[in-house]
Structure 1
């Protein structure tokens, strides 16, 4: 059976090369006579995979020496709670910049644990843009400023991180981590669920500045302390071994394909293929995001009539395109074009969009 054109928002496409390599090793990893899923997480064979994955993250993102790299379970959603548990101290306020549903959810969890505020938001336009840096309100009592670097539902993305704040900057990068180079030293805390750009679901990457860890609270459950995971090299309890094994494979694939800079070139090419169709459609396709805030990860659009949305999605599915339904908050269509989505799939979708318009003007 031919591979689908997979535009799912997450869990998302994985590189075919990675899947094929994992398939070959599935029942006998590294001549152990066992699958990596059967290995003890205390074994040398697994620890080599684990430590190499952490080393690859540091290499590919140029992580400075004064940061820790952690591999944690619970998804980005658990980080919404762990962050204020560890870093929202009495007398301080957590400052959230709202650019979509996931930043709203992060704020909701922080509200349950301490003082919060909204430093800026684009909700009034149904999140069609990223707030301008000069519109962000910050103050000396901010424990941290939290952003969501890419907004999957609305198709918007930060294209620089020159925010107007001296407070520690935190970022949920679940949907664009390693899709481009990032200035890690601009942040005190970065986190990302793996299931869009880094691998399958089950593991969450955390990059945290050591100086910040020295300020974290102590009177919280052991497993929810970042220092617990630092002290045990993310092996305090049984890690999601297969997810980390796959993370390792995907990181090698990224490295072999030009690293973060190579991904940026590839992702820009893919996004421009689709945005060009939208921009040249004479209003037949209408992008949700304002042009300067458009995402290179999630291309969101509606057709000029709702019945055309439904016809487009039905015919696209029949043609082998998967995952193009837009979220109910925006409606219409969404093409998630994460790292592993091929240029060929995006070219095929471009051709389908042009053909569909010609037949349904």
Structure 2
């Protein structure tokens, strides 16, 4: 079993448990491959989260701490990677890039290059629209929509355009939570099906496929997927959406079917764990989604080359994936 995206309380403020505890749980659950991917540090105060400020609201100290935490993570991850464990779980070292804006994307690209001997791959994701976080809370999500003229189509196009810029600059091997914008999307939000304008009239978003509703949005998604296909990346099926009580993982079926058509059906699996209790979270639901909703014939994972630095995507047939010994342990009575 595999996860290509994880965090810990040691190196990000919204994590829960120490990295040692998270990785020990992955070993206990007999993961074949577990990737360590703490966030790339942000370097502008406007992107700091409330829990990242110190009591004195010292901007330079807060940013310096993020950068030091990142270097500490890289050192710690190498120790874990090189240490034998009883399940022979393979730990790979990556980084998640939040892609706040173009400056942050370029900074991330340079930092990955500077640490090429340690960082083996990146998870490229988008957490902001109009420089406003869309996965922090409902208030910020609403602000991002307002900054898009209270127009959902404009909001989505801004998201996928920033994602495209991230893809062009970073070419991440794993593309993280492809449709993260849906986390705080109010299901009773009403939208004009032609213009995308939100208001008291219109159709509730719960009854439509946002990806397929507007041809411009679908075209932006297809453009991004075709570029990922061109450079050889993969889309993660991220179960944190299920943990947060969304009906589908990231990405939803509307995007998933487009991945099959335009990106070679290259999916990897991730738990996006932020603590011990989230390791392998909702993987039984993900299995059902993979087999019965997307009807995939294979799932991919990252494997390490002989030099123990470079990585590549390798495919596993779905019947082999379904029969993995992980599932017997996963379903055993607790």
* TM-score bracket for the superposition, by shorter chain length: under 0.3
Of structures 1 and 2, the one with the larger relative CO (CA 8 A, separation 6+) is: 1
Tell which structure's C-alpha radius of gyration is larger.
1
